[in-house]
Amino acid sequence: MGLFERYLTAWVGLGILAGVGLGLLAPSVFQAIAGIEFASVNLVVAIFIWVMIYPMMIQIDFASVKDVGKRPRGLLLTLAVNWLIKPFTMAALAVLFFEHVFAAWIDPASASEYIAGAILLGVAPCTAMVFVWSQLVKGDPNYTLVQVSVNDVVMVFAFAPIAAFLLGVTNVTVPWETLLLSTVLYVVLPLVAGVLTRRAWLKAGGPRRVARGVGALKPWSIVGLIATVVLLFGFQAATLVAQPLVIAMIAVPLVIQSYGIFVVAAIGARWLKLPHEIAAPACLIGTSNFFELAVAVAISLFGLQSGAALATVVGVLVEVPVMLSLVALANRTRHWYPAAGAGDAGAQGSSRTDALRSP
């Protein structure tokens, strides 16, 4: 992990402080930036989000998907948690807290937007940061790659209908065209660009060229993230100063969701007798979020200064410290699972793992 990745929480915190400070000092500048948009998508933020996503997408190797049938249990657990459980528990928790527990402190309009932001986080499973979490728990990089690849394929088709269904349940009207356009813009196109870049680099210099290229681009990915955080909190500066408890209230259901989903996935992995090398990444994939996509869709659907965008940015804030605590928990519970080589992991070959080790 480089300097940026190792202290990501600190950089996000500094970005929040910078955004709030600059938003208060120069509100007209942020208003001007907010006006640079096309088809409800802010072009400045779109550039930063692409900077974030593109290096991560290069690491996705769709060729590994063909091996999924040999060891399906870990993948099935991840898919069940991500698409059959997580979106619905997130929606339920958001409604519970924003419409009931915190009803006395949040107006109905803001509550609906916070619910929408939380739902978008719940429907966007992690795509790239999971490689970091997998490395920290000494997960099987080959299997993690398969899980992420298949999740991305499923997300292309499942994100829009599940999000629209859940947002409709919570009485938020969402135009299907906008949601589908956002999915194409922030998932499909970066994936295509990443695959093409990876293929070109493999032809030019093999895995070493890919590793070198991704390593060079990674700092820019963090720069894009911090720049986006600065803008979003700059747009929300007045609201944050006027309502300092809003961030804490939004964080409560997000944190409960993360720990709750981890427990559900851990119980499932233990029941399926998955080895730690597969179980730990499976649990972490389900608990983390593809917050770049959630932020992007929240912005395109509800606007840069919306409560939905703010809720997704709070997801960025709580993600890293919560996930690092879950990494520590996963490492301490290594003895819960059978040794590598049992169950589905038996088909794993060490040479194959080394060959597909994530850059």
Q: Two tokens at 158?
A: 């499942």
Give the span between the Cα atoms of 306 and 183, in whole angstroms.
19
Residues 113-143 have pLDDT tens digits of 999 999 999 988 876 667 667 777 877 766 7
Residue 306 structural domain: 3-355
The residues with which 240 forms a beta bridge, in sequence order, are none
Q: What is the pLDDT of residue 237?
A: 79
Residues 222-249 have pLDDT tens digits of 787 788 878 877 876 776 777 778 889 9
Residues 207-229 have pLDDT tens digits of 888 888 888 887 787 787 788 87
Q: How many structural domains are present in the chain? A: 1
Q: What is the pLDDT of residue 117?
A: 92
262 in Cβ contact with 283 (< 8 Å): yes
For residue 147, name the pLDDT band (cuts at 50, 70, 90). confident
The upper half-sphere exposure of residue 25, i.e. CA atoms within 13 Å in the direction of its Cβ, equals: 6
Torsion sign (Cα): 66, 71, 73, 77: negative
Average pLDDT in the chain: 78
pLDDT score of 350 more than 50: no
Give the span between the Cα atoms of 201 and 205, in whole angstroms.
6
For residue 261, which of 74, 89, 133 has the smallest C-alpha distance?
Answer: 89
The residues with which 37 forms a beta bridge, in sequence order, are 42
77 versus 345: the higher-pLDDT residue is 77
pLDDT score of 257 more than 90: yes
pLDDT score of 167 more than 70: yes
Number of C-beta neighbours around residue 190 at 10 A: 24
265 class by beta-carbon count within 10 Å (0-12 exposed, 13-18 middle, 19+ buried): buried
231 in Cβ contact with 309 (< 8 Å): no
pLDDT score of 268 more than 90: yes
Strands 37-38 and 41-42: antiparallel
Q: Which helix (H) or strand (E) holds 8?
A: helix 8-25
Give the span between the Cα atoms of 126 and 148, in whole angstroms.
8
| Phi, psi (deg, nearest 5) at residue 289 | -125, 150
Give the span between the Cα atoms of 160 and 55, in whole angstroms.
24
Lowest-pLDDT range, 52-66, 79-93, 202-216, 256-270?
Answer: 52-66
Residues 295-308 have pLDDT tens digits of 777 877 787 778 88
3-state secondary structure of 42: strand
CATH value at residue 238: 1.20.1530.20
Give the span between the Cα atoms of 179 and 183, in whole angstroms.
6
Q: Using the structure block, give the residue that is written with the tokens 């088709």.
A: 157
